[in-house]
Structure 1
Amino acid sequence: MRLLRLPRLPGAATAWARVPRVPRVPWSLHTPQLRGLRSAAQVRSDFIEFYRARGHELVPSSPVRPRADPSLLFVNAGMNQFKPLLLGTADPRTPLSSLRRAVNSQKCVRAGGKHNDLDDVGKDHSHHTFFEMMGSWSFGDYFKSEACSMAWTLLTEVYQIPKERLYVSFFNGDPGSGLPPDLETREVWLQLGLPPHRVLPFGLEDNFWEMGDTGPCGPCTEIHVDLRGARDAAPLVNRGCPEVLEIWNLVFMEYNRYWADASLWPLPLRSVDTGMGLERLVSVLQNKSSNYDTDLFLPLILHLHQLSGAVPYSGGPGLLDTAYRVVVDHVRTLAVCIADGVHPGMSGAELVLRRILRRAVRFSLEVLKAPEGTLGRLVPTVAQILVSFVLQSWDSTHLCVINENEAQFLSSLKQGTRLIQRTLHKMEPGAAFPASVAWSLHRDLGFPLDLVDLVLTERGVQVDPEELDQIKAQNKVLALVYNRTLVDQVSEGLCGLILDQTCFYSEKGGQSPDQGYLSTQEAVLPLSDVTSCGGYVLHVVQVSDLIRTGDQVQLHLDQSSRLALMMNHTATHLLSFALRQVLGPTVHQRGSHVSVDRLRFDYSTKSVLSPSQLLQVDLVLCDLVQRDLDVFCEELSLRSALSLRGVRTVDEVYPDPVRVVSVGRSASDLLQDQGQNQNSGLETSVELCCGTHVLQSSDLQDVLVVSERQFIKGISRIIAVTANAAKQAREVGVALEQEVDSLWTRVTGSAPDSLQAAERLAKEVGHLTNEVSLQVLMKTVNQLSSLLPGSYVFLLAQVHSGKVLCACQVPKVRPGLGPGCPALGVRPWVSGPGCPALGVRPWVSGPGCPALGPALGPALGLGPGSGPGSGPGSGPGLNSLIGVF
């Protein structure tokens, strides 16, 4: 009997090697009732009728296109249509709100989006783009005891799986999360007759289910079956052994998580969500080691063999058998999706389905050498297998969709092959295939790039990858947005472009968008902003010449600004880690912003950092930079990522899987090491992040905190800079420190030998104080002028040590606002009497503005006629004001 061999997981080899290799004995030979094996249709029917007899309402499968859920391309789990009930958002006027027990078999597609099995389909015997998820539900009705009891009865009495071949797992708790072990579920299984050695404890990764970083969650118990039997298979559970399979997952939603790192609160309405894949269960009950050997797929494989005339399917790993699996899997998906109203197209789910169809055509034509129209001829067999329960509606018009798209792609393939042949004839020996031709095949004819590589490899030619990457930056305009309306063309003004692909990072996760510009053959389009809108990236540009949908544009990324953003974002992660190292694990991020020139980091604290603490933070940052640590970016399941102790999260909704950025060690290594060292995640920076980062910590060159103040009560704000900006800031700091030290020596040293010397020393101290404070004022004025460009006038002033310090900026486009002009009105930043008219000179930035001091004196509460340098007098006591005109 052929046995499927899958790659072993780490840690599984030892246990797997200890098991004696004896032939698997089908239990159907020892169970008279199973000599006539159940068909897949009977397995599905038995499941549904079992639960209907126990008060569960049959809820029809929803279409594979999600209803009002923009986060999904396709329905990918049985719980999707029950989300409103689980989240407490179900409309009380709908039948869904009154549902207490439910059973269904949900059509699911996993291809594209967060859950994408497309590239794995055909390579193994278990991944599918379309599958059925059979499930039972309790919404505030029964809980653990009844759920486990019903599942046990169904498997052992209805499906007649031998009890001695079943193993169950339960949640053994997680002290770090404050979660106790689920001993209630363990006791239920023991009472049902399972011996203790087949009731196995596992942790968060395997036995705790969460919808996301917030919302309903709870422990789960999984049921595993040993396909061989006559042994103790407990060491093989959850170890990747192909003969010990998980067949059912029972989730008990009893908690609600409000924040990713907060404690869990009990749910007022506890629910049960169970899910069991039909394809896997059928392979178990029909005693097959591969899903493709069951009656869900085998009739399709036999029909495909008849149509293609290829070598018969043998179930091996070779290209021919892979092609069989790809075609029969994909044609099932095509039939179900088209029947549910999803047709191959150019965006979203339609684009994914188009890729599935073309992948199936390619394997059918190129590998199996099947004739045109093969996919369409397989559809009636799909309909017979899935019957009316899955394919509620199917007619000839749906068949035409497949045939038309297949014919269109075949035409493109032939045209593309001819173009490749002509190009090869014109090429010099040893030359690289023109990237422009390869991209044209892909963009204009829909010719897959991997197929281009395959055709060229057979002829000993390759495409220059660098040239191809350069050409990929040329993109097509899919949509234009003008005045919040979709239009076909724009001739001038500010508008938004949606492209088929982009290299620009849109503003999210606290990181500013990329900078750069777009260009066409006729015009340059300066980029004003890049933002995400409804799942699309919107490029806001200034148009001065006609641009239409369908036009080709070239993207020009400002690499210096991208690099600065990368450095500042990585520095933000290092700063967060450094603060935790100095202040302890109670420090939590409360906000951040990464821009080209600096980074801002807000964190919870009881008081501002002391000078010694600032010095310790600086030492930690310098050490991290100098150690030249690798920066790792990888995707993990959300549950795995959050199980890392010390992982930094903020109050956001994270996708699943989620991107994890770590410094020094990869998140995967930390997960593996966590069993021996629970604090491994606390020893480095580990955060969930979607931003751009450098490859090594030394790429930052330097990181320096330049400002730290209390933002609001309990939250402090840090401003830091990197690279050259940090170097310049250090140089300024050193110069300032030397000047202060010099003055301090002169003040604390011998007394001045004359009154004039003492006055000069006092003026130097006052000038130094003014310079430090004026830097802040002038920087604020520059920031205001950049936020409100044009003809605005900005004036800031404040009292510092009894002196009036002011910074002002007047654009040259307003020449009438010159010295002595009384046309400027100033309003106080805080409440107080009105301020007099002022006159300033163009582009003044600093002290000594003409006619400014005497006018500001009364407004600031100084004595009548006072100016800069005068002491405080009577008045309302204002200490700062701002004018914008």
Structure 2
Amino acid sequence: MRVPELSRVGGLVLSHSFSLFRSNPRNFSHHQFSLTPPRSVTTILIKGFRTMSRLEGGPEWTAPYVRETFLDYFQKKGHTFVPSSSVVPLSDPTLLFTNAGMNQYKSIFLGTVDPQSDFAQLKRAVNSQKCIRAGGKHNDLDDVGKDSYHHTFFEMLGNWSFGDYFKEEAIKYSWELLTTVYGLEPERLYVTYFEGDVAGGLEPDLEAKDLWRAVGVPEDHILPGNMKDNFWEMGDQGPCGPCSEVHYDRIGGRNASYLVNQDDPNVIEIWNNVFIQYNREPDRSLRPLPNKHVDTGMGFERLVSILQNKSSNYDTDVFTPLFQKIQEITGACEYRGRFGADDSDGIDTAYRVIADHVRTLTFAISDARFARKYFEVEIGSFFSKLVPALVDQMGDMFPEIKKKQQDVIEILNEEEISFAKTLDRGERQFEHYAQQAKLKSLNKLHGADVWRLYDTFGFPVDLTRIMAEERQLSIDDAEFEEARLKAKEASKGQKKAAVDTVKLDVHDLGKLEKMNDVRKTDDAAKFEKGNITAQIKAIYHGKLFHTSTADIPEGEQLGIILDRTNFYAEQGGQENDTGRIIIDGQAELEVGDVQLYAGYVLHTGFMKYGSFSLDDTVICEYDELRRWPIRNNHTGTHILNFALREVLGDGVEQKGSLVAPEKLRFDFSSKAGLSEQELAEVEAKSVEYIRQNCAVYSREVPLATAREIMGVRAVFGETYPDPVRVVSVGVELDEIMKDVHNPRWKEVSLEFCGGTHVQKTGDIKELVILEESGIAKGIRRIIAVTGEEAIEVQRVAKEFGERLNRLDALKLGPEKEQEAKQIQTELNQLTISAIEKAKLRQHFTKINKEVIDGQKAQQKLESKKALDTIVSYFSNSENEGKSSLVVQLPISANSKAVSEALNHVKSKMQDKSVYIFAADPAQGRVAHGCHVSQTLVEQGASASEWAGVVSSMIGGKAGGKGSTSIGNGINPDKVDDAIAQATDYLNRFKL
């Protein structure tokens, strides 16, 4: 899953939560994140914190027992248990989240499954799939908390048949499990079948109707359904087919058929059987599939509520332990199960939303406002306190969440506070816009204001619309779209204009020195997290200093100097921050570059709207999503430097570095390149240091004292400030300063550094060396990645290794030869661990040698077969006196074998006229050629003419000199016709 897409969905989750928040405006505080989830939260999801499901205790049909019963039933029916896939479909860019049980089987339905994989052999499957529906085509977010049965996270119980059983067995299994095993009253169950579609040329699925009747469903409980409800399609193209739903009436004792598919909370769909039997072609026509499949899905939470005789999913032991924990933390009244108008204080709705969204852990932080508004608790550790209860419930079924429990607690604590600050700002600005509209007697918010709420704070339009409706205000969508397009066009213009970045020269610095009110920028806040407020001290454009940005032509780049900043200016190899400088609702500068000039930090960029003037108080908001990986890479660089010294010795000196979001680059002195073993040791020592989860400390130290610290690293020839900032990984600097000459400090990463770093090395997660090379005499360069980038390259390397294993297992033949060529090309271009790449190359070299040796042996064998065919023909007593031969050789389309055979005829059998063919239907190729004897030449025949006759039949071209001609054709199915043509050509001459 990609972070920007996750962030957009985070905004949607927030919009649902925000709609219930009506707290009074508070003094806003400042924070670097927009309302979309920060990288640290989305990292939980990307790193494998995948949602959950396992409970303990309760009535007879406890949630775990309901799930186990389903799985056991189908396993006894010959189904293979397939563990739930991740809620982040890494290999499917068409999905934001896994939203249905069938997602992980798409390759089987589409026919693209790897024939060497386990899935290729799968005939029947069963599982409980973790699903998230929050954003995209399938979005239940707006319904969460309002009704008793919608959730953003849920489990989908499912059974599948891949070209095995079909409708009859699927329907029998459904009915038997529901009525016999789970013991549901048959008269409460209603089923649907596809009623057909005249426009689409589809007949009613009367087979399904008859099968439901056969298992005992009454006629008036079998209902027709339209294309929307009862015809399932994967997309605009691909596998599809009719489906048959099962609905349950919670009340009973009546005929509730008229309430089916009417969103009645008491008549709910619990199971759907999809019969995949067609393929939707590009022209929208339907074509029957060669194999028919069954794809079913049953809502776990809904089934539990039915079996526990609860009118709401939230009254079951899927949710009650979470409600108890919420009450324990907040001291609120207990959950009462009220909905709509009955929930007048909103507390029960808050319970449901909090419980639902803590299950959807990535978005949990977006609901902090519920805890603050309805439960009156301080933000900072609310959601982290719910995590243990959640793990207790669901850690058995999904053990991956147990491993990440402490990480999640730490991240939620930090981000919960951060989000609350941004929430205050956005809320305050919305209230400002709403009051302006009321003062002007308008009944709507201006579209430009709605756009600014989205662009500045990440408020989705739906969120603002809900908030506006609460104040009897509407939104002008046309104005919003106009503002959006205007901003988009302005952004295009800015990119074109950004060729030459605004810079300060010596004359500009001289002017600044003479300005009494402009002092050197205080940038101490760059080492901290969070937004700050600052004052504008200088506005620069066109070699002039201005009093207002309003004096600068629209769309042109400008520079801002502040009295203080939290932006990191490019220095010491670390790339600059980006972000924005804002006066909420009035003006915004999009900061694209930050540079340091003699102590003055210049923020350059383009005004998105409004204007600034000197002495304006602004909010400085750097882009945390950019700085997060930079921090990882910078601390990773220090650790790499330390590991190099450990492996290569004290003689290693830093010669340069680059710290960017996507990678780190480190240049160092070394007479020779690192061996594979040395490189592996450096990477292993780096990872070992990271895994120790050491705290990272920094402190300014007098330069003379700092230089005395045993083992401290600095760049030779670099000029350092006094005092100098020292960064230590693992040992507090207070302890080091007590005895700077202690040799123990050589065992610690200690460096002079003015960059930004992680709080503890565990945040880095991984470090992978991609490349080691020489850039000058005696200077080497290492390129490495950390964090998510490192995990991704490890995944790619693992998958490529598995692919090599499958290649190794293939039998020698054209398929293996073709795959080997493809793999060789891809391996050369692969961006993965240098160490792993070397191993993969060794493995491939071994495989490729086998392929080449096999090709040579096959070539030799086929050349011998070709020659034997010709020689044996003319040596056979039955063919004595014959001077010509037209024949198809018993070999593949082997041009070399054909050429060698003709060369033998030319040198040893000059008096013979021969045309030979070698065809390979699988590859669509024909190798062919001829030799014409001198006798035939004297009669008017020629090799080129003979080959031309053949080529006209089998395609391709032929050519040669003198008595021989060789060609390649593309129609192996025409070989028999070509043989006839070649024979007819011979018959023109007297042989």
TM-score using structure 1 length: 0.45
Using CA pairs below 8 Å that are at least 6 residues apart, which structure has the higher relative contact order? 2
**Bigger share in helix:** 2
Q: Normalised by the size of structure 2, how large is the TM-score?
A: 0.41
Which protein is bigger by CA-based radius of gyration?
A: 2
